[in-house]
Amino acid sequence: MDYSNIVQTVLIYALPVLFAITVHEAAHGYVARYFGDDTAYVMGRVTLNPLKHIDPFGTVVLPIILFFTTMAIPGGPYPLGYAKPVPVQFGRLHHPKRDMIWVAAAGPVSNFMQALAWGVLLIVLGGIGVQETFFLQMARAGIAVNLVIGVFNLFPLPPLDGGRVLVGLLPWRAAHAVARIEPFGFFIVLALLMAQIIDQWWLRPLVGVGYAILQIILKPLALLLS
């Protein structure tokens, strides 16, 4: 095992991951406050301080497990993780069922915007002639990390953001049935991850779509700086 290569990979991904999870969770809290629930704001969770959002298992242990799984199994799952969920009292939102869609979607949207920002940085670095591999790899990592986290969280199963969006979109009876899955949702998602079902049928196809969309958006800038 090449430990120096592992350390370099950790250093490249550390900043993009911290930004990805911190802005993701802060976005939930900010949008919840906008729509009437200031719970996260009062608890200090609408902040860019990553220490407020780190979950010992989800942010540290699970990514390490999946990282080494990826190394051991060719084409294995992405090294994913999660932060402490931002507390939201949906009953305090102005229109709970409708507004929960915006609150839930805010996190993945913030990840796509960050992927776009890292893409701009990558193109600008290339355009001004920066050839330092570390910074170029970090920008690429920022794109990949945010697309993966955003797409993963859109998986339509509570407690993931996509599950909450689905609950908000469905009629009341169907929404209630889906919401009842939430206490078991984490274990279902973990099992689907380990079985590579989410990886094969959700992550890889949609991350590919994300890259294609970014290429279209960033193409004018790339042509301008080429």
* Set 20, 25, 46, 168: catalytic member: 25
Q: What is the pLDDT along the chain (226 residues), one digit of tens a residue?
A: 566 777 788 788 889 988 999 999 999 999 999 999 999 999 998 888 888 888 877 777 777 666 666 554 444 556 566 778 889 998 999 999 999 999 999 999 999 999 999 999 999 999 999 888 999 999 999 999 999 999 999 999 999 999 999 999 999 999 999 999 999 998 998 899 888 899 899 999 999 999 999 999 999 999 999 8
**What's the structural domain count of the chain?**
1
Q: What is the distance between the alpha carbons of residues 53 and 45, in angstroms, rounded to a whole number?
A: 7
Domain that holds residue 214: 3-225
> Active site includes 182?
no
Does this model's pTM top 0.85? My answer is yes
Residue 224: which residues within 8 A CB-CB, separation 6 or more? 127
